[in-house]
């Protein structure tokens, strides 16, 4: 971008002709990412010059645009971009989506059509919405990244699915075993030309277990061209009285035919014969991880920015130290644990408690059915430092107790930058101390 702008600023017809060639204008990046992952736009002076003078001349060449949501309207209106096949938008939130794309809601599935779109990243409501996109209307589509938002198993939906062009497929889905067995597996088994596969699935599977042999026999054997496979399966199952306990080493031995070099397994036995276990490839390539507990593996998850922790055993200070160490880029954390922390500490525990844990990138913190102890654990700046916390979801009574009715200086610092507070109660008359505690609300 800088070179393109500098050359265009020179009043030279020959240089103008050169910079309008495809080599310089296939991909235009209008986003600046700092060392701390902050997203910045190019300055207004540069943006205005591009939109007024350059983009109208080169818009036919542009195949990829990387934009900040704050400036994307200005850029998109500067040309028609008939050959655009990839659009990346940063700082894109729900409010922005509703403002720009409201007219795309609730349209017939047949509305979506493109003869040159080659890569699509999309959130769909149901599985059948995904199938509707794969009926051939996106003729050049070779890369598809999908998040399915809601679970709805409907075996009566029938689509003429065309997967011949698909080379790379990523899926995130929280599904029942019926949906996994009746929807996901048949779809994957038809992807004979797939080369890269990423699966991040949560599966409710009371009937049987899923291991490496199942994954190979039911998925990978149907993909002769596959060379890259990243996966994370979180499986909720139920043990019957005749079932043997699962052992980590036994499960890992079933992955001998899997093309990934290393696989990790985490097993958690729950109350009432319940079982929860994670199977995932290493290095872990997904940006979110669900429902890990005290027994999670000491692995550095460099890509995870959203994490849910839950357990029926208390989380102590040491657990959150491990979380901070193993998830260095964590931005969104949800804590679900109704068990209180231990009031009795040995000398080692006391030493740990004297160490302040820092989450340098954490912006959103949610206490979901969590004991009041965890609210105190995170808001007490002697225990935890949260320099970027802006979104807080917490039970109002827990918040009031921990902050001593919004007068506790020990918990004040971690609340100072909060811009969104979700407390589950609508009719509250906030005191002056409350507004002082949360000055940005």
The reported pLDDT for the residue numbered 238 is 75
Helix (H) or strand (E) run with residue 260 in it: none
Q: How many CB atoms lie within 10 A of CB 334?
A: 18
Higher pLDDT, 104 or 422: 422
pLDDT at 243 over 80: no
Mean pLDDT of 12-29: 64
The reported pLDDT for the residue numbered 170 is 98
| Residue/partner pairs of 153-160 with CB below 8 Å, 24 or more apart | 153/127, 153/178, 153/179, 153/182, 153/183, 154/126, 154/127, 154/128, 155/182, 155/183, 157/127, 157/128, 157/131, 159/128, 159/131, 159/132, 159/134, 159/135, 160/135, 160/136
Q: Residues near 48 by Cβ (< 8 Å), separated by ≥ 6? A: none
d(CA 438, CA 441): 6
CA triple 83-87-91, angle to 5 deg:
160
Strands 262-269 and 274-282: antiparallel
Q: Binning pLDDT at 50, 70 and 90, where does residue 185 land?
A: very high
Sorted by where each starts, the structural domains of the chain and their CATH numbers stand as 2-90 (no CATH), 106-286 (no CATH), 287-441 (3.80.10)
pLDDT at 419 over 90: yes
Identify the weakest region by mean pLDDT among 268-272, 377-381, 396-400: 268-272
Higher pLDDT, 233 or 69: 233
Alpha helices (runs of H) in 36-176, residue ranges in sequence order: 44-49, 55-58, 72-76, 94-101, 127-133
Higher pLDDT, 85 or 245: 85
Average pLDDT, the chain: 85
The reported pLDDT for the residue numbered 242 is 45
Identify the weakest region by mean pLDDT among 47-56, 166-175, 224-233, 409-418: 47-56
Q: Binning pLDDT at 50, 70 and 90, where does residue 275 land?
A: confident
The reported pLDDT for the residue numbered 138 is 84
pLDDT at 60 over 50: yes
Return the half-sphere exposure (C-beta side, CA atoms, 13 A cut-off) of residue 370.
27
Q: Binning pLDDT at 50, 70 and 90, where does residue 273 land?
A: low
Q: Copy the structure tokens of residue 231.
A: 């996966």
pLDDT at 9 over 60: no
Q: How many CB atoms lie within 10 A of CB 93?
A: 9
Q: Binning pLDDT at 50, 70 and 90, where does residue 109 land?
A: low
pLDDT at 356 over 80: yes
Higher pLDDT, 95 or 245: 245
Q: Residues near 118 by Cβ (< 8 Å), separated by ≥ 6? A: 85, 86, 140, 141, 142, 143
Torsion angle, alpha carbons of 275, 278, 279, 280, to 10: 180
Higher pLDDT, 321 or 354: 321
The reported pLDDT for the residue numbered 132 is 82
pLDDT at 116 over 90: no
Mean pLDDT of 409-414: 97
The reported pLDDT for the residue numbered 96 is 66
Mean pLDDT of 306-313: 96
d(CA 62, CA 81): 6
Mean pLDDT of 204-218: 85
Residues 124-145 have pLDDT tens digits of 888 888 888 888 778 889 999 9
Of all residues in the chain, the percent with pLDDT exceeding 70 is: 82
Q: Binning pLDDT at 50, 70 and 90, where does residue 222 land?
A: very high
Identify the weakest region by mean pLDDT among 1-5, 127-131, 260-264, 303-307: 1-5
CA 262 vs. chain centroid, Å, equals 22
Mean pLDDT of 100-126: 70
pLDDT at 177 over 90: no
The reported pLDDT for the residue numbered 410 is 96
Q: Which residue has the tokens 């080369």?
A: 195
Question: Helices 372-379 and 317-326, interaxial angle, to 10°?
Answer: 60
Mean pLDDT of 70-97: 81
Mean pLDDT of 436-441: 93
The reported pLDDT for the residue numbered 137 is 78
The reported pLDDT for the residue numbered 426 is 64
Q: Binning pLDDT at 50, 70 and 90, where does residue 368 land?
A: confident
| Range with the largest mean pLDDT of 9-13, 69-73, 129-133, 213-217 | 213-217
pLDDT at 326 over 80: yes
Instruction: Tell which residue, 95, 105, 36, has the closest CA to residue 70.
Output: 95
pLDDT at 433 over 90: yes
């Amino acid at each position: 971008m800088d070179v393109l702008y500098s050359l265009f600023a020179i009043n030279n017809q020959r240089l103008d002709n050169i910079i309008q060639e495809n080599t310089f204008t296939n991909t235009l990046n209008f986003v600046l990412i700092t060392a701390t992952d902050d997203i910045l736009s190019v300055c207004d002076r540069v943006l205005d010059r591009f939109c007024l003078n350059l983009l109208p001349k080169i818009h036919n060449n542009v195949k990829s645009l990387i934009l900040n949501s704050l400036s994307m309207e200005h850029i998109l209106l500067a040309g028609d971009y008939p050959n655009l096949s990839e659009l990346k938008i940063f700082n894109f939130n729900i409010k922005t989506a509703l403002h720009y794309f409201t007219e795309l809601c609730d349209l017939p599935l047949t509305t979506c059509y493109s003869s040159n779109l080659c890569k699509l990243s999309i959130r769909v409501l149901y599985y059948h919405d995904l199938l509707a996109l794969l009926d051939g209307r996106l003729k050049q589509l070779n890369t598809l990244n999908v998040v399915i938002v809601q679970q709805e198993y409907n075996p009566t939906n029938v689509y003429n699915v065309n997967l011949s062009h698909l080379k790379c497929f990523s899926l995130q889905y929280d599904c029942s075993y019926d949906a996994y067995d009746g929807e996901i597996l048949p779809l994957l088994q038809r992807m004979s030309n797939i080369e890269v596969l990423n699966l991040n699935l949560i599966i409710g599977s009371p009937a049987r277990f899923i291991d490496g042999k199942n994954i190979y026999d039911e998925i990978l054997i149907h993909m002769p061209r596959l060379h890259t496979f990243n996966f994370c399966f979180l499986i909720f199952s139920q043990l019957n009285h005749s079932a043997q306990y699962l052992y980590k080493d036994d499960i890992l031995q079933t992955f001998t035919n899997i093309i990934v070099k290393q696989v990790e397994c985490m097993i958690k036995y729950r109350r009432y014969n319940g079982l929860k276990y994670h199977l995932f490839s290493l290095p872990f390539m997904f940006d979110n991880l669900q429902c890990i507990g005290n027994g999670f593996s000491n692995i550095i998850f460099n890509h995870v920015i959203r994490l849910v922790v839950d357990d029926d055993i208390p989380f102590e200070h040491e657990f959150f130290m491990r979380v901070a160490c193993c998830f260095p880029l964590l931005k969104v954390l949800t804590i679900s644990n109704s068990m209180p922390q231990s009031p009795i500490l040995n000398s080692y525990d006391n030493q740990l408690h004297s160490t302040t844990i820092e989450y340098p990138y954490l912006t959103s913190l949610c206490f979901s059915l969590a004991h009041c102890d965890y609210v105190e654990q995170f808001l007490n700046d002697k225990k935890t430092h949260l320099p970027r916390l802006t979104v807080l979801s917490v039970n109002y009574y827990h918040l009031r107790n921990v902050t001593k009715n919004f007068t506790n200086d020990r918990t004040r610092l971690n609340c100072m930058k909060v811009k969104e507070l979700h407390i589950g109660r609508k009719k509250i008359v906030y005191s002056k101390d409350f507004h002082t505690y949360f000055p940005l609300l």
